[in-house]
Structure 1
Amino acid sequence: MASVERRVVVVTGASAGLGRAIAQAFAREGASIGLFARNRERLEATKLEVEQLGGKALVLVGDVADAQRVEDAAEEVEREFGPIDVWVNNAMTSVFSPFNQMTPEEFRRVTEVTYLGAVHGTMAALKRMLPRNRGKVIQVGSALSDRSIPLQSAYCGAKHGMRGFTDSIRCELIHEKSRVHITMVQLPAMNTPQFDWVESRLPNRPQPVPPIYQPEVAADAIVWASHHRRREIYVGLPTVKAMWGNKFIRGLLDVYLGRTGYKSQQTDEPERPDRPANLWQTVPGPYTAHGRFDARSKGVSPQVWLSEHKWGVAALLAGSAVFTAALCSARRRR
């Protein structure tokens, strides 16, 4: 347990939402965690939670779109805690808007944070992990990295990009016979505060596309991924359905989402025109891991358990099939 408890982890986007839940989950293992985000006040609150849960924390204020700041943060973590074992690229932003109403600056900003932020984090992590020939990079993906939806073209494009460059890096690691591992955890709709601060041109308040899951479901899957060498992990049955559906019925999904995707991403409550958004600067406030959808969110996912134990389940099913065949054969011989 000593080696597990002392792992050094970096989590980007750690001040609220899923990133904060990820930090809490690693803290329960006693990890030393670099907490990277723009809002110092919420990072300090996250640090306090991490320490109460048994971990250690270092506050790292910065923007993942700034490659040099990400590199400097990695240096700070290694000076304070030692070699980084796990790097989690979680930071993101989005704009809820039809594409023809977005500005080039908005599209660029979403790309710089959600896609290039993960690129910068991966560069900083691999710079340190490759010479040591150990470590794990976890990309926090989405069902939208494969199946895009309307009103989030920049975010969907960024997640597709994340998946593309992750696959490329994986091939390079295999070529080099490196023990460094990179994995992507694909998520469903999550109950996080992003829907209270995301830039939006929608008439009503934005919401995650139901069904919605609590951030702890994904956070626990990410911690599990940090201990195992899986290429990719799907969290939640909706993610599995979206990924596989897009392989076989893309055209039908285009039509379905064209008809339903606008309404499913909005509540019935009108949006406040003066609501602050975090696209360009952090939004103040005591946001935590959870958003405003607790009453509608699932706290467990049987699918995640099956994904994590798929080889054991497969072996059990195979054993059951062999036993059944042997039993039927024995009865026939009688």
Structure 2
Amino acid sequence: MPRTHQPVAVVAGGTAGVGRATVDALLDRGYRVAVVARGQSRLDALQGEFGDRVWTRSVDVGDGTAFDRAADAIVADFGVPEIWVNSAMLTSFSPFEKVDEAEFRRITDTTYHGTVNGCRTALRVMVRGNIVNVGSGLAYTSVPNQAAYCGAKHAVEGFTQALRIEIARDGRPITLSMVQLPAVNTPQFDWARNRMDAKPQPAPPIFQPEVAAKGVMQAIDTDAREVLVGRSVLQLVFGNMLLPDLVEHQLEKSGVEAQKSDRPAGDGPDNLDGPVEDYPTRAHGSYDDRANAHGIIVDGDTARKSLVFGGAAALLAVGILLGRSTRTSGGDDERNRLARRGRPPLPAYERPAEYRR
């Protein structure tokens, strides 16, 4: 049985990229973390690095039955989770007409249905806590050559909103959040299927995975409905709201080129039909030299209210002020916040000083 001062978190897609950075952030806070992902070699490496602080199992998140079995094992072996993060994804850098039905469905099964399966399973086993669905600015403004991924992220946004309302109506002490991410330097761009004439890159500006993980942790800390990470996400969200025709015209001209690096396409690995087993478990991809280690992290509702009540200039000011630090500020501690919401307190453990509010 887990000790009371070590609460349990689950991260789906936690062996690479944003998921791996989130695993590290949770471990730093004293959580024990259950990680589900496809690649067995990376899961084994995580187990070897962290020992009994992690629990691992190879699961295709698109398979709801397998996800359910894994969750039952997590509860039996590790305890009932209080944090659940859905971060698994697949994509293909390809024009839509070159993506057949099977490929489109595979991306959708992992990126959308995997999130749906994760939420269904989390709600079945969790008593209280936070579920975080990792989204993208592309849930608001799509880009060419990633139609399947963009469609899946739009679907995740709509699904999450509907489910959030149902959870609130039922009065369950579980918060469901979305974290909308910018372009992040992850292994996705090293192993995703690619039909472009150059190796794909995160469309600049590029951010390190730790910035995304801080957005996930902020959503957990503040019970945010939505968190927007990076100024580029603000531009995607509000640009599409205010000037969608201008945004689409710009993407028509530069949307494909922005996703191409200056590196040849080559015959790199392809993780669409199965994991790339010889790739190490790490958060970062191949663009460390161009990625920002810091970025603004804004509560989505605060940003929208700033736009409505203060106009675009006020929104920019809020972004600048809030963006000087990715840490949250003010407010009561976690126990008082939970008490106000009628939740039982978290197990007794001390967060690192940098995360105390």
User: TM-score normalised to the size of structure 1?
Assistant: 0.87
Give runs of aligned pairs for residues 179-198 of structure 1, distance below 5 A: 179-198=173-192
Correspondence for 1:327: none
Cα 1:303–1:86, aligned 2, differ >3 Å: closer, same or farther? closer
Structure 1 CA distance, aligned partners of 2:297 and 2:82? 27
Supply the AA of the counterpart residue of 1:221. G
Aligned: 1:277 with 2:263: no
Correspondence for 1:267: 261
What is the CA distance between 1:292 and its match in structure 2? 0.6
Correspondence for 2:79: 82
Deviations 1:243-288 (A, max 9, x none): 011101111111100110111000122211x322000011122332
Aligned: 1:21 with 2:21: yes
The DSSP-based 3-state class of the residue aligned with 1:30 is coil
Matched-pair contact (CA < 8 Å) for 2:19–2:88: yes
Structure 2 CA distance, aligned partners of 1:309 and 1:289? 20
Aligned: 1:11 with 2:4: no
Aligned: 1:306 with 2:322: yes
Matched-pair contact (CA < 8 Å) for 1:24–1:50: no
Match of 1:231 among 216, 225, 229: 225
Cα 1:226–1:217, aligned 2, differ >3 Å: closer, same or farther? same
Supply the AA of the counterpart residue of 1:226. I
Correspondence for 2:345: none
Structure 2: unaligned runs, 5 residues or longer: 299-320, 332-357
Match of 2:162 among 148, 154, 168: 168
Cα 1:310–1:102, aligned 2, differ >3 Å: closer, same or farther? same
What is the CA distance between 1:227 and its match in structure 2? 2.4
Structure 2 CA distance, aligned partners of 1:216 and 1:293? 14
Aligned: 1:258 with 2:252: yes
When structure 1 is superposed on structure 2, of 254-263 and 296-305 the one drifting more is 296-305
Match of 1:247 among 241, 246, 249: 241
Q: Give every structure 1 segment of 4 or more consecutive aligned residues whose post-TM-superposition deviation is greater than 6 Å.
A: 307-311
What is the CA distance between 1:310 and its match in structure 2? 7.8
What is the CA distance between 1:76 and its match in structure 2? 1.0
Supply the RMSD in Å over aligned alpha carbons.
2.0
Aligned length: 305
Matched-pair contact (CA < 8 Å) for 1:17–1:193: yes
Correspondence for 2:56: 59
Q: Percent identity?
A: 39
Matched-pair contact (CA < 8 Å) for 2:40–2:58: yes
Matched-pair contact (CA < 8 Å) for 2:229–2:296: no
User: TM-score normalised to the size of structure 2?
Assistant: 0.81
Matched-pair contact (CA < 8 Å) for 1:24–1:49: no
When structure 1 is superposed on structure 2, of 29-38 and 156-165 the one drifting more is 29-38
Correspondence for 1:113: 110
Cα 1:192–1:309, aligned 2, differ >3 Å: closer, same or farther? closer
Supply the AA of the counterpart residue of 1:282. P
Cα 1:277–1:78, aligned 2, differ >3 Å: closer, same or farther? same
Q: Which has the higher Rg, Structure 1 or Structure 2? A: 1
The DSSP-based 3-state class of the residue aligned with 1:226 is helix
Correspondence for 1:322: none
